[in-house]
């Protein structure tokens, strides 16, 4: 401070120039270090739905019209991470969802989900968004051999949930908006417990949003940042574990079978948002041996239950998080217990640069085969 306020009684212009330069430089430095505040949105919605009769075995349950409610909290991304700008600054949120199925066999459900909400079109007073989320749901009742044996949808009370939604939000005041949406909700336990036909709920959503700051304009400085690994190849080594049941008999006896896999995959970073993957993997599903013994075939020698597959995959990147989708073909499949191909959807998270975890749903023709918990290394 002694440089800005000298002891002499005669102030000259050069001292004021030094003060302005020093103080101005400090102000600019502080402004560059402080990240913009992320405004929030609080929502409360009502939902009206119907149950899709996606298989004859669930037609007797698809007769009611469930109603629900949702509370959620969203935060606007601000550019503190490069992927915010690559996706044009979406919102990220948490939601609590309640449904009453108006059917004693299904009763009620509660769910907690995390989601991303991306603007398709936005003006100062209107927004059209696409929302995608996943989480866990709890049902107050499920299949029971004696008390609820006609509930062929939900074999367990704890289930995974997936949400997709198109939302239109229109401002009615500076902070308050009316929301109209069309949603699709899915609940399933991933074949960990049988029966597991799942519930599909197309829904109409109507509610209110409170916007802390509607006309938010984030800093676009990070939009031009290019990841250093674009165009580079990498290697993933991973293994997964799952458990499943074959049918209701296994639930009566509380019996589960383990499913293991090992995967080697080569990937290439295509651009800011995408990885392309090519993988080779092997599977061992212990439930298949039990299935063979329950349904004996001609001959004394049972086919090998091990399988091998090759898949082509894509990873949609959100910083450390990635949405995974695979399409695979079995190249070694002596025991024909399934179609010749399989699909996989999942969420992958990098704990470090080289270590990741993943939750995957492996599917055969839209029917869940196994819910895989995966760990791996990126080299």
Going from the C-alpha of 287 to that of each of 6, 14, 228, 247, 373, the distances in angstroms are: 86, 85, 44, 10, 17
- pLDDT tens digits for 147-169? 898 998 999 999 999 999 999 99
* pLDDT reported for residue 135: 95
Q: 3-state DSSP call for residue 145?
A: coil
Domain ranges of the chain: 40-220, 226-378
Residue range 78-93: mean pLDDT, rounded: 89
Mean pLDDT of the residues in the chain: 87
- CATH number of the structural domain 226-378: 2.40.160.20
Instruction: Give the global pTM.
Output: 0.83
Determine which of 13-17, 196-200, 343-347 has the lowest per-residue pLDDT on average: 13-17
pLDDT above 50 (res 4):
no
Q: 3-state DSSP call for residue 64?
A: coil
Structure confidence at residue 9 as a pLDDT band (50, 70, 90): very low
pLDDT above 50 (res 292):
yes
Domains 40-220 and 226-378 share a fold: yes
Structure tokens at 32: 């560059």
Count of alpha carbons within 13 Å of 261, Cβ hemisphere only?
28
- pLDDT tens digits for 313-343? 999 999 999 999 999 999 999 998 889 999 9
* pLDDT reported for residue 36: 64
Return d(Cα 83, Cα 75) in angstroms, integer.
15
For a pLDDT cut of 90, what percent of the chain falls above it? 66
Residue range 82-98: mean pLDDT, rounded: 92
For a pLDDT cut of 70, what percent of the chain falls above it? 87
At which residue do the structure tokens 């599903």 appear?
A: 285
Return d(Cα 126, Cα 204) in angstroms, integer.
19
Ranges assigned E (strand) in the chain: 40-49, 67-76, 91-100, 108-122, 126-139, 158-171, 176-188, 199-211, 233-244, 257-269, 274-285, 306-318, 321-332, 341-350, 355-364, 367-378
User: What architecture (CATH level 2) is domain 40-220?
Assistant: Beta Barrel (2.40)
* pLDDT reported for residue 252: 85
Distance, CA of 16 to chain centre: 57
DSSP labels, 248-263: HHHHHTT--EEEEEEE
Return d(Cα 156, Cα 180) in angstroms, integer.
32
Residue range 183-204: mean pLDDT, rounded: 92
């Amino acid at each position: 401070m002694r440089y800005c306020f000298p002891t002499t009684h005669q102030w000259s212009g050069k001292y004021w120039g030094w003060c302005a330069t020093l103080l101005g430089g400090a102000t600019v430095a502080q402004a560059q270090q402080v990240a913009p505040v992320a405004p929030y949105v609080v929502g409360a919605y009502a939902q009206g739905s119907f149950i899709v009769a996606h298989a004859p075995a669930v037609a007797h349950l698809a007769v009611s019209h469930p109603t629900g409610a949702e509370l959620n909290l969203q935060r606007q991304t601000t550019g503190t991470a490069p992927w915010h700008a690559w996706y044009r600054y979406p919102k990220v949120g948490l939601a609590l969802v309640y449904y009453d199925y108006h059917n004693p066999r299904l009763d009620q459900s509660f769910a907690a989900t995390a989601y991303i909400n991306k603007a398709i079109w936005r003006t100062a007073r209107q927004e059209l968004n696409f929302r995608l989320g996943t989480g866990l749901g709890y049902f107050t009742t499920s299949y029971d051999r004696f008390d609820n044996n006609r509930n062929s949808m939900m074999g367990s009370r704890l289930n995974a949930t997936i949400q997709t939604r198109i939302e239109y939000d229109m401002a009615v005041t500076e902070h308050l908006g009316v929301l109209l949406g069309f949603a699709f909700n899915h609940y399933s336990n991933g074949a960990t417990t049988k029966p597991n036909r799942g519930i599909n709920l197309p829904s109409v959503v109507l509610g209110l949003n409170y916007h802390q700051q509607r006309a938010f304009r984030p800093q676009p400085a990070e939009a031009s940042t290019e990841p250093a690994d674009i165009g580079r190849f990498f290697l993933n080594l991973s293994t997964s574990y799952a458990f499943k049941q074959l049918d209701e008999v296994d639930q009566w006896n509380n019996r589960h079978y383990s499913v293991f896999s090992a995967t080697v995959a080569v990937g290439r970073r295509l651009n800011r948002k995408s990885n392309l993957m090519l993988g080779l993997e092997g599977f061992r599903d212990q439930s298949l041996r039990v299935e063979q013994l329950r349904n004996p075939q001609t001959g004394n020698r049972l086919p090998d239950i091990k399988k091998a597959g090759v898949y082509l995959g894509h990873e949609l990147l959100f910083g450390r998080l990635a949405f995974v989708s695979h399409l695979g073909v079995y190249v070694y499949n002596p025991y024909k217990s399934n179609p010749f191909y399989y699909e996989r959807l999942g969420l992958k998270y990098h704990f470090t640069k080289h270590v990741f975890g993943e939750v995957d749903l492996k599917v055969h023709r839209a029917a869940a085969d196994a819910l895989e918990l995966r760990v791996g290394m990126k080299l």
